Amino acid sequence: MGDDLGDDWWEQKSNSDFPVGEEEGEEPEKQPTEQASPQEKKGKKRKSVTENPVQVKKKTALKSQTECFMAQEKKEDGEKKPKKKRKKKKKTITDVLATSEPKSGSPGDLQSLVLEHFKDKRSVIELEELKLQDSCFVRSNDLTHSLSSYLKEICPKWAKVQKQHTEKSSVVLLIVCSAALRVIELIKQLTTFKGEAKVLKLFAKHIKVEEQVKLLQTGVTHIGVGTPGRLSALIEKEGLTLPPLRFLVLDWNWRDQKLRRMVDIPEVKGDLLKLLDMGILKGCREGKVKVGLF
């Protein structure tokens, strides 16, 4: 049998381990592969991106639950935090004057001011005593008068009143205003009215109370123009006495740079009410003093 296979059978076997035409140590030729077209690539990508419908449903349900939970939290936060109420802006004096014409003061305005200030400090009987009759007032300024023309109207017999006044440390006409500069301005406006009457400025700026007390004591003063704070101080020190007083004029309608009247400034209003309560209101009730609102 060995003769039939041939003498070189083992050599053929060893050579049969390699493909025909290839020698040992040579790499087999690579077969060219078919390249996929761009459309096929896109299709593969889409297939890979496509998810399982069950997973998609789970994600959608989870997302909706999360959104509901967040919406509920926001609702609870909104219920816990009450909405802040907008504060109404208070109207200023400028706002009021912009929408309406300024009105002149009246006796009723002064009455209301006095009663409102003392209502918590006085008894019912005492409040009744603070009320003034219409006869206590002279005609108020209707915003058409200068100071001199107004004084001539309310005191037509000024020359006689002036001659009859002979007491020191007192005045027969007292004009009350809100500031020192206004005092000086009003004194200038008195030129055509005062005649030979002596006028004294009574305010606190740069002038001591003691100096003003001496000025009042040295001679007869007919007209005093001052601020309520300094006038009250002079009355307390007995530098100014009230029995000879016949006319009290309040610079009621004048407004400063901030459009405030005398009674719109808290400290001035307080001093004015104190001054009125130091004997002037009593003199009005007794018919000795007449009040005018300029």
Q: Is 169 left (phi over 0), alpha (psi -120 to 50) or beta?
A: left
Contacts of 43 (CB under 8 A, 6+ apart): none
What integer pLDDT is reported at residue 166 of this predicted model? 93
83-142 pLDDT tens trace = 566 666 666 656 665 566 678 889 999 999 999 998 888 888 888 888 888 899 999 998
Q: Which residue has the tokens 């009003």?
A: 186
pLDDT digits (tens, 9 = 90+) for 30-51: 454 445 555 555 455 454 445 5
Q: Report the length, in residues, of the chain.
A: 294
The structure tokens listed for 3 are 């003769």
Summarised one tens digit per residue, pLDDT across range 271-281 is 999 999 999 99
- With 0-12 / 13-18 / 19 or more C-beta atoms within 10 angstroms meaning exposed / middle / buried, residue 12 is exposed
Angle formed at CA 166 by CA 199 and CA 293, multiple of 5 degrees: 50
Burial class of residue 173 (count of CB atoms within 10 Å of its CB; 0-12, 13-18, 19+): buried
* CATH fold group of domain 103-293: Rossmann fold (3.40.50)
* C-alpha to C-alpha distance for 151 and 170, rounded to whole angstroms: 19
**3-class DSSP state of 253:** coil
